Homo-oligomer: A and B are copies of this chain.
Amino acid sequence: MAYDKENFRNVTIKDVAKRAEVSIATVSRILNGKDRVSPLLAERVLLATKELQYQPNDVARALKIKESRSIGLIIPDIENPFFPALVRGVQDAAKIHNYAVILCNTDGKTEEEKKYIQFLYSKRVDGIAFTESVDNKKNIALLDSLGIPVVLLDRRVEGMKASGVSTDNRLGAFMATKHLIERGKRRIAFISGLPKLSSGAERASGYQDALLSYNIQYDKKLAFIGAFTYESGYAAVENLLLSRYQFDAIFASNDIMAIGAIECLNQYGIRVPEDVAVVGFDDIRLATWYKPLLTTIRQPVYEMGQYAIKLLVEHITGERSSPHEKIFVPELMIRQSSGGLEESK
C-alpha cells in the first residue's frame, strides 16, 4: 500500500514530553506560550519537537478548546467571474488570522445551501461567510439557530442579526443610469438581476431613481428581468429587439448580462456604442478584456471579501458583539461600451 498509516506513526505531545523528560502539560504550555515556563525546559522541549518533527494535532485541539479555526465560505459558483476575487479576498484575510476556509458551491440552490450549512456545522466551523441565493429567510434562520457567527456577502436581509458587507447597489445603478442620461440617452433599457436578491432589487430602484431625477418617464416595456447570467442578458435583448420598441442604451445589472446583451446586439448588426450604449455592473476582469471595453460600475470585490472576514473574525473572538453593516461605495468605470470619454452627440 502506498500510504501505510502504520509507517507514519503520528508523533504526539506525549512523545515530545517523554523525549524532553517533562510532563505533557509543560509541553503544551511551552508550545502555546501562555503560562510562564523555565527557559531550560522550553529549550529542551523545543529541541524535542524539532527532533521528532512534531506537528500539533489541530483536531484534538479543536475538540478541547471548541474552536476549529476554520470558516465556511458559501457561494453560488466559483466559475461565475464575480466570485474568484471575492474568494481570494476571503482567503487572504483568513490566512492572516490562521483560519482555514472551506469552500462550498451551491449553484444558488436553497437546498444545497441548507445542506452545506449543516455540513459546516458538523465540522464545527467557527463562522460562515455566506453569499446567499434567493429564498433567504429559512437558511438565515437556520444559521441563527445554530449560533454560528455569520457575515452576509453582497446581500442584505431585513432584520438579520448578522453583519453584512455589500456595495451601495442603488447608488451604483444610479450612477450608471445617470452616466447614460448625461450622454444624451433617453430610452434606456434595463436588465435586472434576480429581483428577489437585495442586490437585484436595489439596482432596479437605483435605475428608476435616476430616471426620475432627470424627469424621464419609467417605461415598463424597457425593463427586463434577468438572472445574472450571460444567457439572460442575451435573451432580454433579443426580446427587446423582437418587440421593435425603440431604445438607445442598456443598463445591465451585471457585466455578464451586459456582455450577453452586446453579443446579441452584434448578432443583429447593431453597433455598440454607436447605435446603443451599454453599461454593466461589477467590473469583473473580463470587462477590460472584452471588446468593446465595458463601461461598468466597479465593486471592490476583493476588499469586500477581506472585510467580510475581518468582521467575521471580530464576531468569533467576541471583539465585536453587535452586527455591523459595511457598505462600500461603487465607482463608475467609463470605457468604450458607453461611448467612452468623448463628448456625447
Contacts and interface: CB of A to CB of B under 8 A. Distances in A.
A323 B3 CA distance: 10
Contacts of A103: 87, 91, 101-103
A59 B56 contact: no
B79 A84 contact: yes
Interface of A is mostly: mixed
A276 to B, nearest CB: 17
B122 A58 contact: yes
Interface residues of A, number: 61
A285 B147 CA distance: 39
Q: Which of A8, A104, A259, A289 counts the most chain B CB atoms within 10 A?
A: A289
Contacts of A179: none
A91 B291 CA distance: 32
Given A100-B119, A122-B56, A124-B59, A3 B147 contact: yes
Contact of A58 (B77, B91, B124, B320): B124
B122 A105 contact: no
Number of copies: 2
B105 A92 contact: yes
A105 B321 CA distance: 31
A2 B105 CA distance: 27
Given A2-B149, A2-B315, 11 more contacts: A2-B323, A3-B318, A7-B147, A59-B62, A59-B123, A70-B102, A77-B88, A78-B88, A81-B285, A91-B103, A286-B286
Nearest to A58: B122
A345 interface: no
Contacts of A291: 290-291
Interface string A81-110: 101110110011000001011111100000
A40 interface: no
